Amino acid sequence: MIHALFVRRVKAEWKEKWKVIRSIVDWTVAFYFIVPALIFVGMYYHSMWDVLPNWTSFLSLDSLLFILFLFFIDGEIRTYVEEADLLLFREDSFILKGIIKRGILLTSFKNSILLGLIVFFLLPILINQFNFTLINCLFFFFYCLVWKIFFSIHNRLIHLHFYKWWKKYLCKMLTYSIFFILFGYGFRTKFSVVSVIVILFVSILIMLLVKTLFKYNRYFLRDIYLEQNQEGKWTKYVLEKSGNSTKRMLATRPWLLRKSQKIFKRDQMVFRIIESFIKIYFRDQSSFWFYIQFSIGCSVAFLFSPTVIKIVILLFAPFLIYQQSKGDWHSFNNGLIMRVYFNEGTNRLISKYARFVIAIPFLILLSSMFVVYVISKLFS
């Protein structure tokens, strides 16, 4: 009964995610973006076994340690509890513990798959640059998996026990600082007896945290609330960033472009509409920070990628910005002005112009970097 109930919940969530993926990934996106990306990633990974790229010379063991630690502290465990479980809260705790236990195991299994892909990608660097053997790589995978499971349960318990953000932040910073020292010490000992002792110690901590997680009497409602947020977090993020959902426009005082100065000198209605959309887009903090983070990420990837990958980034990354702004345009398009003054055909044309203007600064950035790269190659 417990296993069937848990499987039903997992299948329902995966079906919902699959519907979201199908709604944003049609055959054109798969053919023009996903398939070429997989081909280039395969070619790039194969070339890493022959000759390591230049950016690996800047990657030391300490920097790899810090990057992996940032990956470990992200995310939390899933328990898959629902509001209907309130009926079982007092009567049958065995069923609830079975659901929570299976949620922990499933989350750990997903973390192991993700971590396995990361270690598989790092194999050429670990073997050719850091002189790891296959046994060292397997031990490295197991060592990182134990820490990932520990931090997943640790983050969940912090979110259950603390409601105020500053208490969560303070507790996380304190524990992260302590365990970073322990993680780094076990990592730098080249997987010796000290690393085994660290693994045993962290495994004991995991068992204690799981035992604490099973004592859900005080924060069961809080656990349901966190599960609902976790269940809808992925769907909301994917739909917003792909431009397939309508974002709620806030009527608060803008924190950017407050004086609302003119961007275009022309006073035609079309230019005023495009200008208004640009200001609304960059005044929205989620869109603004996505634009900044995406620009920085693509710029870093552009710097440390071979020529073929640079061309792919230059051709396809601006289109992703163009596509992501669709959700902001849907919200902007619901206004009365757009419905009164423009028909459907003109509305679509203005949408293309406005979203293209949004992508222009990012396109100029990548084009400038590509021109500098070509000139440096010609005169080198």
**What confidence score (pLDDT) does residue 281 get?**
82
Q: Domain extents for the chain?
A: 2-242, 269-378
What is the length of the chain? 380
**Residues of the chain whose pLDDT is less than 50?**
250-251, 254-255
Q: Are 280 and 293 in contact (CB under 8 A)?
A: no
**What confidence score (pLDDT) does residue 255 get?**
47
- Give the integer Cα–Cα distance in Å for 363 and 369: 10
Residue keyed to tokens 């076990």:
186
User: Token pair of 13, please?
Assistant: 């969530």
User: Token pair of 363, please?
Assistant: 């396109």
- Give the integer Cα–Cα distance in Å for 160 and 154: 10
| pTM, rounded to two decimals | 0.73
CA 141 to chain centre: 21
Find the helix packing angle between 269-283 and 344-378, rounded to 10°: 70
Q: Are 354 and 277 in contact (CB under 8 A)?
A: yes
**What confidence score (pLDDT) does residue 2 get?**
82
**What confidence score (pLDDT) does residue 141 get?**
92
DSSP character at residue 31: I
